[in-house]
A and B are shown apart, each in its own frame.
Chain A
Amino acid sequence: MTSSHGRGLHLAAAVDQRSAYDADSYVELARLAESGGLDFVTLDDTFARPGPDALAVLSRVAPATGRIGLVPTVTVTHTEPFHVQAAVATLDWVSRGRAGWRIDVSTTEGEARLFGRRHAAPADALWQEAGEVAEVAAELWDSWEDDAEIRDTATGRFVDRDKLHHVDFAGSEFSVKGPSIVPRPPQGHPVRVVDATEGQARRTAARYADVALVRAASSAQAGAVRAELRASAEKFGRDPDTLRVLVSLVVDLGDGEHAAEPGHGGGGPRQTAHGPLYRGGPVDLAELIAAWWHGDRTVDGFHLTPVEPRRDLERLVNGTVALLQHRGLFRTFYPGSTLREHLGLARPANRYAVTGGAS
Chain B
Amino acid sequence: MTVRPRKQIHLAAHFPGVNSTTVWADPRSKSQIAFSSFEHLARTAERGLFDFFFLAEGLRLREHKGRIHDLDVVGRPESLTVLNALAAVTERIGLAATVNATFNEPYELARRLATLDHLSGGRAAWNVVTSSDAFTGENFRRGGYLDRADRYTRAAEFVAVARELWDSWTPDGLSRPFAHKGQHFDVAGEFTVPRSPQGHPVVIQAGDSGEGREFAARSADVIFTRHGTLEDGRAFYADVKARLAKYGRSADDLKIMPGVTVVLGDTAAEAQERAAEIRRQQVSPQNAILAVEQIWGTDLSSYDPDGPFPDFDPEPDPSLTQGRTRRGDSVATAEKWRALSRQKGLSIRQTVIEASGRQSFIGTPEAVAAELETFVRQDAADGFILVPHLTPGGLDEFVDRVVPLLQERGAFRTEYRGATLRSHLGLAEPGGKG
Which B residues are CB-close (under 8 A) to A176? 138-140
Which residues of B are found within 8 Å of A174, using beta-carbon distances?
A: 140-141
Query: A57 contacts B115, CB within 8 Å?
Result: yes
Cβ B104 vs Cβ A83 within 8 A = yes
Asked whether B87 lies within 8 Å of A23 as measured between CB atoms, the reply is yes
Interface hits, A75-119 → B, CB 8 Å = 78-83, 86-87, 89-91, 93-96, 110-111, 113-117
Q: What's the nearest-Cβ distance from chain A to residue B392, in Å?
A: 14
Q: Which residue of B lies closest to A151 (CB)?
A: B24
**CB–CB B71/A158 < 8 A:** yes
Q: Are B84 and A47 in contact (CB under 8 A)?
A: no
B75 touches A144 (CB 8 A): yes
Binds B, one of A2-10, A120-128, A159-167, A288-296: A159-167
* B187 adjacent to chain A (CB < 8 Å): yes
Name the residue in B78, B88, B107, B192 with the highest tally of chain A Cβ atoms < 10 Å from its Cβ: B78
In the complex, are the beta carbons of B78 and A89 less than 8 A apart? yes
Question: Please, which residue of chain A has its CB at the minimum distance from the CB of B305?
Answer: A156
A63 proximal to B (CB < 8 A)? yes
- Provided the pairs A80-B103, A115-B108, A179-B61 are in contact, do residues A90 and B82 lie with their beta carbons within 8 angstroms? yes
Asked whether B77 lies within 8 Å of A94 as measured between CB atoms, the reply is yes
Q: Which residues of B contact A236 (CB under 8 A)?
A: none
- Which one, B67, B73, B84, contacts A60 given CB within 8 A? B84
* A55 and B80 alpha carbons, distance in the complex (Å): 10
Considering the chains assembled together, what is the distance between the CA atoms of A160 and B68 in angstroms?
Answer: 9
Size class of the B contact interface (CB-based, 8 Å): 35 or more
B285 interface residue, CB < 8 Å from A?
yes
- Cβ of B408 < 8 Å from any Cβ of A? no
Contact between chains at A86 and B78 (CB < 8 Å)? yes
Across the interface, do B78 and A115 meet the contact criterion of CB distance under 8 Å?
A: no
Residues of chain B contacted by A63 (CB below 8 angstroms): 35, 39, 85, 88-89
Q: Is there a chain A Cβ closer than 8 Å to B284's Cβ?
A: yes
Residues of A within 8 A of B67 (CB): 161
By a CB distance below 8 angstroms, the chain B residues around A161 are 67-70
* A183, CB-defined interface residue at 8 Å: yes
In contact, A156 and B78 (Cβ under 8 angstroms) = no
CB–CB B116/A94 < 8 A = no
* Complex alpha-carbon distance, A164 and B89, angstroms: 32
B187 in contact with A57 (CB, 8 Å) = no
Inter-chain CB contacts under 8 Å: number: 180
Q: Which of the residues B69, B77, B87, B139 comes within 8 Å of A82, measured between beta carbons?
A: B139
Question: Is B7 engaged at the interface, CB distance under 8 Å to the other chain?
Answer: no
Determine the chain B residues whose CB is within 8 A of the CB of A60 once the complex forms. 84-85, 87-88, 119
Asked if A232 is an interface residue, CB under 8 A from chain B, the answer is no
Task: List CB contacts (< 8 Å) of A21-52 with chain B.
Answer: 21-23, 27, 46-47, 49-52
- Contact call B192/A51, Cβ cutoff below 8 A: yes
Do A62 and B85 touch (CB < 8 A)? yes
Contact of A90 among B77, B116, B284 (CB under 8 A): B77
Residues A157 and B71 in contact, CB atoms below 8 Å apart: yes
Q: State whether the Cβ of A64 lies closer than 8 Å to any Cβ in chain B.
A: yes
A82 and B138 alpha carbons, distance in the complex (Å): 10
Residue in A closest to B26 when the chains form the complex, CB atoms: A153
Mark interface residues in A212-250 (1 if CB within 8 Å of B CB, else 0).
000000000000000000000000000000000000000
Let me know if A164 and B68 touch, CB within 8 A: yes
- Residue picked from B75, B84, B104, B188, most chain A C-beta under 10 Å: B84
Across-interface contacts of A53 in B (CB, < 8 A): 111-112, 115, 193
Given contacts A53-B111, A53-B112, A93 and B68 within 8 Å (CB-CB): no
Residue A175 interfacial (CB < 8 Å): yes
B76 adjacent to A52 (CB under 8 Å): no
The contact string, 1 if C-beta is below 8 Å from chain B, for chain A 171-183, is 0011111110111
Interface residues of B in 283-311 (CB under 8 A from A): 284-287
Is B316 an interface position by the 8 A CB rule? Answer: no
A78-B108, A82-B139, A182-B77 given as contacts; is B286 within 8 A of A156 (CB)? yes
The answer to whether A21 and B193 have CB atoms under 8 Å apart is yes
Instruction: Say yes or no: A56 contacts B61, CB within 8 Å.
Output: no
Q: What 7 A-B pairs have minimum CB-CB distances, sorted nearest first?
A: A156-B286, A177-B138, A59-B84, A94-B85, A90-B81, A90-B77, A63-B88
Would you give 27 A-B contacts (Cβ < 8 Å), ordered by A?
A: A21-B118, A46-B192, A50-B194, A53-B193, A57-B84, A57-B119, A59-B81, A60-B84, A60-B87, A63-B35, A79-B108, A80-B104, A81-B141, A86-B78, A89-B77, A89-B78, A90-B81, A93-B77, A96-B35, A116-B186, A149-B75, A156-B287, A158-B74, A173-B141, A174-B140, A177-B60, A181-B59
Q: A21-B118, A63-B85, A183-B75 are in contact. List 18 more A-B contacts (CB 8 A).
A: A47-B107, A50-B190, A52-B192, A55-B81, A56-B115, A57-B84, A62-B88, A87-B78, A87-B81, A94-B35, A114-B187, A115-B107, A156-B25, A159-B74, A164-B61, A174-B141, A176-B140, A177-B60
Point out residues on A near B: beta carbons under 8 Å: 21-23, 27, 46-47, 49-53, 55-57, 59-64, 78-83, 86-87, 89-91, 93-96, 110-111, 113-117, 144, 149, 151, 153, 155-161, 164, 173-179, 181-183
